[in-house]
A and B are shown apart, each in its own frame.
Chain A
Amino acid sequence: MTAIRVLVGTRKGAFILTSDAKRRKWSVEGPHFAGWEIYHVAGSPVNPDRIFASQTSSWFGQIIQRSDDGGKNWIQPGSDASVPSDNAGMPQGESNKFVYDTSDDTGKPLTTHQWYDGTQHPWEFERVWHLEPSLSDPDTVYAGVEDAALFRSTDGGVTWHELAGLRGHVSGPSWQPGAGGLCLHTIVMDPENEDRMFVAISAAGAFRTDDGGFTWKPINCGLVSEYIPEPTAEVGHCVHRIAIHPTRPHVLFMQKHWDVMRSDDAGETWHEVSGNLPSDFGFPVAVHAHEPETIYVVPIESDSLHYPPDAKLRVYRSRNGGNEWEALTEGLPQEHCYVNVLRDAMAVDTADPCGIYFGTTGGQVYASANEGDSWAPIVRDLPAVLSVEVQTLS
């Protein structure tokens, strides 16, 4: 391991933080795409210098950016004026074109989902929340979008096509948005089975495919959500985040709207592992790179008060897969702290000892080079942090 690269998406641009193997001195570079909301920045596991970014704006819509040199230079894939024209004589520039599949041939396309007022509402693309590059092919990347759907590109982000079987699940018309919209925000790929993938949707729940994305099943048995009419319903749960360890992909950890959950059977059943947490509301959950039973969450006061309990920013670590948690506080503010840590804003490196990183809505990015025992800010005053990903470079 020679270097660590932390990819940070914020409300006002992307930042790249780099350090050598010691993880003590950091350089901060950015903002890239200044002024735009960067929901997620993610690198290819196959080619770490290939990085994708979701750049979005309520004014000007969605842009997909790609770098092939580790974030130094960026392009909008396929948007070069020299590329061939389409039938209408217009240049192709479709890397930001996310069109729901309404064909008769694939999936079971839907035209509506449930809206806030209980009526049915057309699916409308808003933005890409999460990009998940393939574990095996640098040209393949998945996008989780709002309104909730899963798209895939197999040409490096030039074009995108919906995996319509997910949205076409029979429960689709009952899906309804959470406060943040009806968004597919989590994509987890099984490193041992390329046909298996997990996704999570707010507020529909978790789903799994075992056939490469053609068909999907809800995997929410054991979740209990008191904020929905039927607390144990098959769908309707506000799942915030799912994480796995790559050596045990059948063991899933989940931070739900309330409750930290665990599944030992690839999501078929879940049981609660909140244990002694001061609050089991929160957004991210992460797994230690080398210890599959060591997991991390950041408790938040409640669904109404999105800041840490007692105004103390504490990461909680369990060494035995949940239920027994210890507060990690060294180097973190222990008074007057009212920031939040969003669902995509915590990640781990694969160095030894494992490094943990998270970003806050107050613009701080904290790092621990010793498994969470102590923390220090890499940078303090960025725009609100939406996402943090880490690349361990060799």
Chain B
Amino acid sequence: MIRVVLPLHLRTLSKVDGEVQLDIGGLVTTNTILDALEARYPMLRGTIRDHETRARRPRVRFFAVEEDVTHDSPDARLPEAIATGAAPFLIIGAIAGG
């Protein structure tokens, strides 16, 4: 079971309390996680990646097992710890403020 941690505003939007658990049969990549996430929570479509191009929104980041995988290919295999659920896949709103 894949574990996904959403940022606060997307947890609110999708009415999720805590982590999301997704069952992905097959290769575990950023795109397959996001596909499964959007299938379960369609209100998240367009909030993490573009509706049409499926490109990541500029201020969204992806972390996996203490690595920033934001700029890796979204179709690249993620670490085994993500695939087994030992570690969560983190979706982060980029830091900004003042």
Contact = CB atoms under 8 A, between A and B. Distances in A.
B39 A90 contact: yes
A79 B38 CA distance: 10
Interface in A16-44: 33-36
Interface stretch (B24-32, B52-60, B65-73, B78-86): B52-60
Given A59-B7, A90-B38, A97-B51, 5 more contacts: A60-B93, A61-B46, A93-B46, A97-B52, A99-B52
Contacts of B8: 35
A91 B57 contact: no
Contacts, number: 69
B57 A61 contact: yes
B17 to A, nearest CB: 16
Contact of A59 (B9, B44, B52): B9
A93 B93 contact: no
Interface string A90-119: 111110110100000000000000000000
Contact of B9 (A36, A76, A91, A99): A36
A163 interface: no
A91 B45 CA distance: 9
B43 interface: yes
Size bin of chain B's contact surface: 20 to 34
Contacts of A263: none
A76 B93 contact: no
15 contacts: A57-B9, A59-B7, A60-B10, A60-B57, A60-B93, A79-B45, A81-B40, A90-B38, A90-B39, A90-B42, A91-B38, A93-B38, A93-B46, A94-B45, A97-B52
Interface of B: 7-10, 12-13, 35, 38-48, 51-52, 57, 59-60, 93-94
Given A59-B60, A60-B60, A99-B52, A93 B45 contact: yes
B46 A97 contact: yes
Interface of A: 33-36, 57-63, 76, 79-81, 83, 89-94, 96-97, 99
Chain A binding surface SS class: loop
A90 B52 CA distance: 13
Contacts of A60: 7, 9-10, 13, 47-48, 57, 60, 93
A189 to B, nearest CB: 28
Contact of B43 (A34, A58, A76, A89): A76
A81 B45 contact: no
A93 B41 CA distance: 9
B45 A96 contact: yes
